[in-house]
Structure 1
Amino acid sequence: MAVYNVRLINEAEGLDETIEVDEDEFVLDVAEAEGINLPFSCRAGTCSTCAGRVIEGDVKESGGNPDMFFNSGQRAAGFRLLCISYPTSDCTILTNQEPNISQF
């Protein structure tokens, strides 16, 4: 089983932490287990509260309906729902991005 380094950044919250996430674990779940407070609501990929923006590497979403929240430009900019995202490589993610979705 692969384990990836996932760097979580939110300058406004003073967050810059790297966590190890197994390829079959959700980023949000591991962050929470590590004591990192990230926004979430449904935990099922049916809202955009947990939106993050992947700026390096990649994640794969499983379940939910992320295309209901992100258009193709937003997807290309790296927006993903962290409650249903598994890492597929080492990656860097900007957290708390729901307010920024409409800028793309």
Structure 2
Amino acid sequence: MPYKFNDARRNKFPKAKYRVTNCSEYNESLRQRGDVTLWVSDDVVQNWASPRRKTRGGQARYSDLAIEICLTLRAVFRLLLRQTQGFVLSIAKLMGIDLAVPDFSILSRRGKG
């Protein structure tokens, strides 16, 4: 087994020691780890809805940009599709923007392309 390769002499390897030299900077960096700041530009809000198609068929309700933003947030925060829908909805609510958020099934279908 590869994880047991050095098992017989594991206690002979020196343990790595780390020393914090500036405690105030270290504490501040630990505090900032939990900070989540999102910024949504006005261009995104204006281009959230899909433009009307000139061809036959159903009209897309959300633009490719909206789907891409939702799926990017999903990848960054490692969310499931339903959690992504709720997360984007809560961001829109916090920002005071009235956006129609794509359903998880729409994200699934349009995310494959």
- Structures share a fold, TM > 0.5? no
- Computing the radius of gyration from Cα coordinates, the structure with the larger value is 2
> Given the two structures, how large is their TM-score scaled by the length of structure 2?
0.29
> Given the two structures, how large is their TM-score scaled by the length of structure 1?
0.30
RCO higher in structure (CA 8 A, sep ≥6): 1
